[in-house]
Amino acid sequence: MMTCIVCGVVKEIKPDKRGSVRLPRGWHRVGEASYCAGCWGKRYVLRAITMPVAGPMGDGDGMDWVELRKRLAEAWQQSTGMANWAITELAKADVVRNPGMEKLKPMEGVYLYPGARAQYPGMTSSSVVSLLHAVEGKYRKTRLEVIWRNSASLPRFKYPMPYPVNAQNWSARYLSEKERVPLVEMRLGESRVCLRLAARKGMRRQLAAFGEIVEGKAVPCELAIYRQRASEGDHRVGMSGKEPAGGAGVRYRVMVKMVAWLLKKEGVKGDGGTLELRTEKDRFWVGKIEGKEGEWVLNADHVLRWVVSHRRRLGRMSEDTKFEKRWPSRKRVQMQDYRDKFLRKHHDRLNSWIHQASASVVGYAVRNRVGRVQYDDSERLTSEFPWHMLTERLKYKCEDNGIEFAEVGKGDVEGKGAETAVEGES
């Protein structure tokens, strides 16, 4: 029997085949304390903290960037190879659609761990389990389109696949009490490494969450180390390479993503109230606090111009890269490299703006002591904006500030709103 330390609910537990006791679904344990799913959700929230690597510490073995790059390349080669091997094995073990099948049968369990360990012995057992779990989840989400509808191809993973490290194989600490330099010790392959993380202005949220992990207030989960393409003017130490088929040189930064359960903040103190936030066909956001005069408005016409310009440029580039144009191979590589840079720039600035916009509306809610945000996005400006990402950012920023978030509307998407609005201005 297991008892929740908060509400006192009792749950009967059964041992598995090996005789060990597993936590019930949704339950969590911190030390000797057990929490049911409901109490855990009220107390903790799952967050990812991403920070760039400033360099290796070189404790004991004197590791430098040359050695670190070598170990990371080996780790990413193992993780990428295993991910593609696992996705192929899952497809081989799955069913094949034939004319007599009326519906897609559920997928049976496939035990790939022994084969993965034999194929890639350089990875730790915990990293193998984490990676296989992620790949299987990816395959199960796409098997309907791949097997039944034949509308998608089998997923493939490009190098470098992020290398996962489970919670038992990494730890966070500071360099010293006075020098609060964030450090991460992790197991990379058969050895351990100590990495110094970058701590600079604009990373207040990441540093605060990192401090909770160090102090033991947060419950750490999985860590992943990967690389991210950097700008051409980024002179920080990292990694470099070239695009395939003789492309231009590229600079990368090594990033560490730490997933942890963080304590939720207390709710807003005061009389509370509700902020009714909605989208409109000619305005991005309109907010109205019940019992208060005036509206909070965000037009964001420049974001609409970004979306329309992006769509038009992609269309024109597609027309210029038709097969009949007979571009030389080197020219095609250059054009594709330019296309990738343009796509990445558009994605990055939209992502930054989404963070800024959601932070501004949550700041308005906090300033007015709002206890609940009621969100309705049934009327949308354009179909080519990441509305789901915007909703997720707004939701977790509300949760971080102790504000209740409720999504009340999911309507039809207006695909012509953005183009009409922007063309009307010119």
Model pLDDT for residues 121-169, shown as the tens digit of each residue: 989 999 999 999 999 999 999 999 999 999 999 999 999 999 999 999 9
In a domain, 269, yes or no: no
- Asked if residue 252 is part of any domain, the answer here is yes
Claim to verify: residue 172 and residue 304 sit in the same structural domain:
no
pLDDT higher than threshold 70 for residue 365: yes
239-293 pLDDT, tens digit per residue, is 776 655 555 677 889 999 999 999 887 765 556 689 999 998 888 999 999 888 8
| pLDDT at site 413 | 40
Whether 109 and 133 map to the same domain: the answer is yes
* pTM score over 0.95: no
d(CA 338, CA 316): 13
103 and 193 share one domain: yes
Residue 40, domain member (yes or no): no
Name the domain boundary from 224, 239, 264.
Answer: 264
When the pLDDT of each residue in the chain is averaged and rounded to a whole number, the result is 85
**Together in a domain, 217 and 335:** no
H helices within 94-235, ranges in order? 113-119, 125-143, 204-215
Say if residue 302's pLDDT is above 60: yes
- Do the Cβ atoms of 394 and 362 come closer than 8 Å? yes
Whether residues 93 and 198 share a domain: the answer is: yes
Residues 70 and 208 in one domain: yes
Residues 28 and 110 in one domain: no
Looking at the fold, whether 230 and 305 belong to one and the same domain comes out as: no
Whether 226 and 372 map to the same domain: the answer is no
Confidence (pLDDT) at 136: 95
Under DSSP, the state recorded for 15 is: B
Confidence band of 195 (pLDDT split at 50, 70, 90) = very high
Query: CATH number, domain at 338?
Result: 3.30.420
- Same domain assignment for residues 59 and 139: yes
For residue 52, what are the β-bridge partners? 255
Q: Based on the fold, state whether residues 242 and 286 are members of the same structural domain.
A: no
Domain end residue (candidates: 224, 240, 264): 264
Phi-psi region of 25 (alpha: psi -120 to 50; beta: other; left: phi over 0): beta
Instruction: Please state which of the ranges 205-214, 328-337, 400-409 shows the lowest mean pLDDT.
Output: 328-337
Q: What is the pLDDT of residue 213?
A: 95
Q: Strands 2-3, 28-30: parallel, antiparallel or unpaired by DSSP?
A: unpaired
pLDDT in tens, 31-69: 888 899 889 988 898 999 999 999 998 654 568 888 999
Domain containing 58: what range? Answer: 46-264
Is residue 233 domain-shared with residue 310, that is, in the same domain?
Answer: no
How many folded domains does the chain comprise? Answer: 3
Residue 416, pLDDT score? 40
